[in-house]
Each structure stands twice: as C-alpha cells, then as structure tokens.
Amino acid sequence: MSKPIGLFELDKARKLLPIPQTTINLEAVVAKIAALLDHWKVQTSQKGVLTASQGGFNFGVREE
C-alpha cells in the first residue's frame, strides 16, 4: 500500500497523486455522528478522546 505524503499519495510507479478531499455532505454526516458519539461517551462515562477526520473515526483510549 502506498504512503500518504501531505495531500498526495505515492503510487507504485513512485508518482504523486492528489488525494481527493471529502465532500461537504459527507463531512456534515460525520459531524452529526461525532456529536452523537460524544454525547454517548459523556452519558456512559467513557474515557478517551473522540476524533473525526475526513469521514473516519478514531477512538483514542488512555489508560489511567
């Protein structure tokens, strides 16, 4: 698999290809889901940090 380089991806031929940005419609859905997940996290006393970026989610958990 190729590695991201800034806003580009390096293909097998070692050429940089632009990574398409997420559309505003997808970002709006992600924002709503993130808000719901954050509310759930608070209500259930979950630890960690919820982050969302470009349509994906990352549940970071810190052990204390």
Q: pLDDT grade, residue 61 (50/70/90)?
A: low
Helix, strand or coil, per DSSP, at residue 36: helix
For the four alpha carbons of 37, 46, 39 and 59, in that order, the dihedral sign comes to negative
Whole-model pTM: value is 0.52
List pLDDT tens digits, range 12-54: 898 888 877 777 777 788 888 888 988 988 898 887 777 776 5
The predicted pLDDT at position 54 comes to 57
